[in-house]
Every structure is written in structure tokens, then in C-alpha cells.
């Protein structure tokens, strides 16, 4: 379990409910924050490495899809800065994370072993979840990553509950819950955050707002200019943040998390991002998204912007990039191999873990299948 010690903040740097998204880096990669950057070089470079690893993993997923090894992917390119920023803002293995299906970048940056990630994607024995779910459903007990469910927004009430338990038990933990813009339309989203606000639980609700829910554009999703301002419905702060800016994502999340940890209650953090790929491998986004729009956002690539930032500080070079890419490629290739080597999930695992102990009707069904397979 990884425990990071985060710098303790003296002040609150960010204003909720801004019209313009909070950014700390200009498109050219200049630091435009009005407070001192307090991160060491190792972390600054790690953020880049993680983003790059996520981008490359996304590409891997597509390859695995093409070769028929995985049945489905939920592209995360464009979400890297948001996911990596948040991952580093929390105490890994201590705080809890409630991710959704687009969050394998978050999982990676939280330290989920690659072999587990690919094991889950391919559904082999390397998957700690025993091949029970579709690809793109992160979960890790040791890292306190609550098993994602496909049902949009269904994890928000459990996040509130876990945070309430943290408060009751005084564990000093925080629950960080991520979701898309579409998720904010579900009743459970609202009901759960309302409860969290009443109880002032240590939770941070993070929206990766890519302005589409599959094909449904933001304008059909809600009439509020921002997601952040929905926080008014709960009486909690809502931060409108440039989610293509890894430092803005990191710092706002960190402040929100530490506020929560200090007992000041939950907040809502909106990270404005863009998904470069289709919604999923089953989607055709040309039906609903103009190519110019995609191009426009491609020019705002979160990796490129952060690369410029690092380069300005002498923390990035072509060489390092090359080296990183090779390392990452190797790690991922090895992980895929190891995941495949672990072998297929046995048929009978289907009947385990429905309950803590086996019930008679399931044992009968297990026997029926066993007979059939013999």
C-alpha cells in the first residue's frame, strides 16, 4: 500500500463557481497560478510519465480490441490530465476511490499493477475480479478502489456511505468519486451528494466533463452553463476547472480533498476535458460530433501542454520522452503477456462469490453445469 505524504496547505487558493475554468498552465505551458508551485521535480515528471502511460495504454486497448483479445474499450485519451491529476492528489491506499468505466487512467496512476489492469481487460485469472465484468471496470481492494459498475451514477451513493463511515470511525480518510457529465442527470447522483452535504462527510465528487454522454451533447443534458454550479443545490463549493491542465486538476482536487479531510465537508470538482476517441469501441462518434470540434480539442492536448511546461523548466527532453515510451511499452507488453499467461477463468467460477458461502440452489446449478461440461 502506498502512502504519500502531501504538503499541508496553509490557505485555500481556489474560488468556487468561477465562470472561466480554473487553469494553472497557459496553453503555452507557462505557470499562471498565483501561488507558488510546491511540487518536487520527481512528482512533476511522474505526472507526465503517468499521462503518457495512460495515452499509450489507451492505444494498447485498441490494439487488443482489433486482435480480438478484448471485447470492448472505453477510450480515455483526452482525460489523462484529469485522471492523473486526481490520482496524485489523494493518499493512495488510504483514501478510497469510486471510479467509473472510463477511469483506467486513474487506476494506473493510483498504482494498480498493469497485469491486473490487462487481466481485467482480457478477463483472465490475472484479474482480481475473476473475470466477472466487462473490460474497463477497475477495482482493487488493496488500493481501496471500489469495484466499478456499469450503471452510470450508481456508485455515488456508496461513495457517500463510505465517506460517512470514515467520518463516523474517524479514520482520516477521504472518498473520491469520479463520473461523467451524463452521470449528473441521474437522480442517485443528486440524492447521494445531498446526503453527503448534510452529513459533511469527507468526500470529493469529481466530474470528468467531456460534454458528451455517448452522443448526447451537454446542451441536452442540462441547462446549467457549468456542472460546478450544481453544487449550489447542496450548499457545497463547486469548482470549474480546466481538466486538460494536469496541475489545475491536481491542485484543485488536492485542496478539495484536504478540505474534506479537515472536516469541512464535501465539494464538487468539475474537470472540463474532451474525449478524443469514440464513446466506446461500440460507438461511431462521426454520427454526432463534427470533426472540426475534435480537431480543435486535439490542439489542446493535455500531454502536449504539460510537455511544454516541463520543457520550459528543463524537465523534458526528446531523449527522455523516447526512453519513457520504450519503458512504458515494455512494461505494458510484459503485463499483457503475464495477464494472458495467467490463463482462462474457469467456468465454475461463475458460481462463486454470489454469497459468502454457497447456497443450495447455486450448488445445484453448479452441478448441472459441471455435468454438462463433462
Given Mg ion, a second copy, other proteins, none, residue 7, with its beta carbon under 5 to 8 Å by kind, binds none
Residue 52 CA, chain-centre distance (Å), reads: 15
Give me the least distance between CB of 292 and a second copy, in Å please: 25
Identified binder of other proteins from the candidate list 73, 83, 139, 249, rule CB under 8 A: 139
For residues 138 and 117, what is the distance between their CA atoms, to the nearest angstrom?
7
Residue range at the interface with other proteins (CB under 8 A); choices 14-22, 144-152, 246-254, 299-307: 144-152
By CB under 5 A, residue 210 contacts Mg ion: yes
Beta bridge partners of 268: 205, 238
Three-class HEC string of 2-48? CCCCCCCCCCCCCCCCCCCCECCECCCCCECCCCCCCCCHHHHHHHH
* Active-site annotation holds for 211: no
Q: Which of these, 175, 156, 159, lies nearest to 253 by C-alpha position?
A: 175
Given ligand TPP, a second copy, Mg ion, none, residue 85, with its beta carbon under 5 to 8 Å by kind, binds none
If the CB atoms of residues 48 and 234 are measured against a second copy, the closer one turns out to be 234
What percentage of the chain's residues is helix, strand, coil (to nearest 5)? Answer: 45, 10, 45
Look up cell 468539475; give the residue. Answer: 270
Residue 45 burial by Cβ neighbours in a 10 Å radius (0-12, 13-18, 19+): middle
Given a second copy, other proteins, Mg ion, none, residue 210, with its beta carbon under 5 to 8 Å by kind, binds Mg ion
* Active-site annotation holds for 341: no
Site string for a second copy, 235-254 (x = CB under 8 A): xx------------------
Site string for a second copy, 199-238 (x = CB under 8 A): -x------------------xxxxxxx---xx-xxxxx--
* Active-site annotation holds for 279: yes
For residues 42 and 37, what is the distance between their CA atoms, to the nearest angstrom?
13
Site string for a second copy, 255-274 (x = CB under 8 A): ----------x---------
Amino acid at each position: 500500500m502506498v502512502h504519500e505524504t502531501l504538503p499541508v496547505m496553509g490557505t485555500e487558493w481556489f474560488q468556487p463557481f468561477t465562470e472561466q475554468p480554473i487553469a494553472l498552465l497557459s496553453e503555452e505551458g507557462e505557470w499562471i497560478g498565483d501561488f507558488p508551485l510546491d511540487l518536487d521535480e520527481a512528482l512533476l515528471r511522474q505526472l507526465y510519465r503517468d499521462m503518457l502511460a495512460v495515452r499509450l495504454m489507451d492505444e494498447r486497448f485498441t490494439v487488443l480490441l482489433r486482435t480480438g483479445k478484448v471485447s470492448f474499450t472505453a477510450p480515455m485519451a483526452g482525460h489523462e490530465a484529469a485522471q492523473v491529476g486526481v490520482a496524485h492528489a489523494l493518499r493512495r491506499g488510504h483514501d478510497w476511490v469510486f471510479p467509473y468505466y472510463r477511469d483506467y487512467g486513474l487506476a494506473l496512476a493510483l498504482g494498480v499493477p498493469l497485469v491486473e489492469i490487462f487481466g481485467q481487460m482480457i478477463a483472465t485469472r490475472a484479474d482480481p475480479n475473476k473475470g466477472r465484468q466487462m473490460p474497463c471496470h477497475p477495482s482493487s481492494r488493496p488500493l481501496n478502489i471500489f469495484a466499478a459498475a456499469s450503471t452510470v451514477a450508481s456508485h455515488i451513493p456508496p461513495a457517500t456511505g463510505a465517506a460517512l463511515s470514515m467520518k463516523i470511525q474517524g479514520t482520516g480518510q477521504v472518498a473520491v468519486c469520479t463520473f461523467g457529465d451524463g452521470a449528473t442527470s441521474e437522480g442517485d447522483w443528486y440524492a447521494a451528494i445531498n446526503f453527503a452535504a448534510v452529513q459533511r462527510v469527507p468526500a470529493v465528487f469529481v466530474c470528468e466533463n467531456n460534454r458528451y454522454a455517448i452522443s448526447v451533447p451537454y446542451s441536452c443534458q442540462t441547462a446549467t452553463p457549468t456542472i460546478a454550479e450544481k453544487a449550489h443545490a447542496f450548499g457545497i463549493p463547486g469548482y470549474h476547472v480546466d481538466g486538460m491542465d494536469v496541475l489545475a486538476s491536481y491542485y484543485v482536487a488536492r485542496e478539495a480533498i484536504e478540505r474534506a479531510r479537515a472536516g469541512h465537508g464535501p465539494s464538487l470538482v468539475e474537470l472540463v476535458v474532451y474525449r478524443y476517441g469514440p464513446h466506446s469501441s461500440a460507438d461511431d462518434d462521426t454520427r454526432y460530433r463534427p470533426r472540426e470540434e475534435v480537431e480543435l480539442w486535439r490542439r489542446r492536448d493535455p500531454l502536449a501542454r504539460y510537455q511544454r511546461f516541463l520543457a520550459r523548466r528543463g524537465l523534458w527532453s526528446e531523449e527522455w520522452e523516447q526512453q519513457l515510451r520504450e519503458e512504458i511499452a515494455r512494461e505494458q507488453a510484459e503485463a499483457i503477456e503475464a495477464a494472458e499467461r495467467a490463463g482462462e477463468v474457469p467456468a465454475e467460477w461463475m458460481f462463486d462469490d454470489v454469497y459468502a458461502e454457497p447456497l443450495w440452489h447455486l450448488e445445484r446449478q453448479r452441478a448441472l453445469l459441471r455435468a454438462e461440461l463433462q
